[in-house]
Chain A
């Protein structure tokens, strides 16, 4: 494995939703950069993989998109959270926290022994 971590399936959707929740409407490029920054440059995000994930979320009704103008006066497509999306962030975040908490219990004794 390299120095940076690959984004694994399913987590990207939650990162996108959470980023949109905290930042408001963003275009695809801005979203990609923001996710990289938030991860502390730990994540190796292939920007191309972001778009099918965005499309999926839009089809599921969690985000919506509209053309707008970027900070550099460039035409760009902006994504923003819908109401269903806001509910989904809470739900998915709670589920994810539970999962990591469970996993942490399994890992804790091993760390003590080490």
Chain B
């Protein structure tokens, strides 16, 4: 509590330095006078007594300086001085200032634009026609919150009037068998209305119809990414059977890819995301740009005559 109070007083001390300075000078002077008189009583000359008094004090200016530092917040004063100096220099060189400000503005602007797009496209949005109208539902019970059971979902879907449609999905890993090899894939087990609620169409074949589940036939719809990665974009895949964790499923459709995904994979054409060469090249490029960006101003600064630099200061 005491130190907080001290901080406040020191901050206020910044605003009115003159009075406190005079006040302390008077206090020190009276201290020195009293001490001088005491020394004179011991038989010293006035000059020698005063000298001894100052010696015992540890110096007039040193004491004032220590007092001043305790009175205000010296680092804040230094900071304010530095800021004033920086501002003065910036005003003196409007061209340089403009370029620096523009560079920063462009950099910050471009960064936030890229991240806004990336966040909206990759992190926030669902692959739906109108993602802003989607909501996610949780169940909340005294035991905690979590997912709904399938019967609960059926009741919700049947009785809800405030939602246009309610879909259910449950994600798990499955093993996809490809000839002699097998591969782990993520599989979403979804309600038949999944695609119609989300508003996603198939680029080949069809998605699920409301009758799909009732018939009990094991069918899958495959994502564009998996189609490219695993099935080499084979157009005859629709209608064939694939094996997921020991069970055969008929591929009924192939989803259209998202615009962003298509853009990204077209950029990555012929390059794996883990290609060491592309990492090395991009790192080298960044280092090169940084070197050039530091070397040019350094060279320019070194070319200036020191006398010239001092005169500008």
Listed in ascending order, the chain A residues whose CB lies under 8 Å from chain B are 27-30, 46-49, 51-52, 55-56, 59-62, 70, 72, 74-77, 84, 88
Query: Is B30 a contact partner of A48 (Cβ separation < 8 A)?
Result: no
Neighbouring B residues of A72 by C-beta, 8 Å: 34, 37
The listed residue (B24, B26, B66) touching A49 by CB distance below 8 A is B66
Neighbouring A residues of B33 by C-beta, 8 Å: 74
Closest-CB distance, B128 to chain A (whole angstroms): 62
Query: Is B34 a contact partner of A29 (Cβ separation < 8 A)?
Result: yes
Neighbouring B residues of A29 by C-beta, 8 Å: 30-31, 34-35
Chain B: interface secondary structure? helix
Closest-CB distance, A94 to chain B (whole angstroms): 17
Listed in ascending order, the chain B residues whose CB lies under 8 Å from chain A are 2-3, 5-6, 9-10, 23-24, 26-28, 30-31, 33-35, 37, 56-59, 62-63, 66-67, 69-71
The distance in angstroms between the C-alpha atoms of A48 and B66, with both chains bound, is: 8
Query: Is A27 a contact partner of B5 (Cβ separation < 8 A)?
Result: no
Known: A27-B31, A29-B35. A61 touches B57 (CB 8 A): no
Query: Is B28 a contact partner of A59 (Cβ separation < 8 A)?
Result: no
The distance in angstroms between the C-alpha atoms of A52 and B68, with both chains bound, is: 8
The distance in angstroms between the C-alpha atoms of A51 and B64, with both chains bound, is: 9
Closest-CB distance, B219 to chain A (whole angstroms): 78
Question: What 6 A-B pairs come out closest when comparing CB atoms?
Answer: A60-B2, A48-B63, A48-B58, A59-B6, A52-B70, A46-B58
Closest-CB distance, B85 to chain A (whole angstroms): 28
Closest-CB distance, A14 to chain B (whole angstroms): 14
Known: A27-B31, A62-B2. A52 touches B58 (CB 8 A): no
Neighbouring B residues of A84 by C-beta, 8 Å: 2
Chain A: interface secondary structure? helix
Closest-CB distance, B41 to chain A (whole angstroms): 11
The distance in angstroms between the C-alpha atoms of A75 and B23, with both chains bound, is: 12
Query: Is B31 a contact partner of A47 (Cβ separation < 8 A)?
Result: yes
Of the candidates B3, B33, B69, the one having the most CB atoms from chain A within 10 angstroms of its own CB is B33
The distance in angstroms between the C-alpha atoms of A49 and B69, with both chains bound, is: 12
Query: Is A28 a contact partner of B27 (Cβ separation < 8 A)?
Result: yes
Query: Is A55 a contact partner of B58 (Cβ separation < 8 A)?
Result: no
Closest-CB distance, B52 to chain A (whole angstroms): 11
Neighbouring A residues of B23 by C-beta, 8 Å: 77
Query: Is A52 a contact partner of B67 (Cβ separation < 8 A)?
Result: yes
Neighbouring B residues of A30 by C-beta, 8 Å: 34
Chain A to chain B contacts (Cβ below 8 Å), 6 pairs: A27-B34, A30-B34, A48-B63, A61-B2, A76-B31, A77-B23
Query: Is B34 a contact partner of A75 (Cβ separation < 8 A)?
Result: no
Query: Is B70 a contact partner of A60 (Cβ separation < 8 A)?
Result: no
Closest-CB distance, A22 to chain B (whole angstroms): 21
Known: A52-B67, A55-B71, A76-B27. A61 touches B56 (CB 8 A): no
Known: A51-B24, A61-B2, A84-B2. A56 touches B70 (CB 8 A): yes
Closest-CB distance, A17 to chain B (whole angstroms): 12
Known: A60-B6, A74-B30. A47 touches B67 (CB 8 A): no
Known: A55-B71, A56-B6. 10 other contacts (CB 8 A): A29-B30, A30-B34, A47-B31, A48-B66, A49-B58, A51-B27, A51-B28, A61-B2, A75-B26, A76-B31
Neighbouring B residues of A61 by C-beta, 8 Å: 2, 5
Query: Is A48 a contact partner of B69 (Cβ separation < 8 A)?
Result: no
The distance in angstroms between the C-alpha atoms of A59 and B69, with both chains bound, is: 13
Neighbouring A residues of B66 by C-beta, 8 Å: 48-49, 51-52
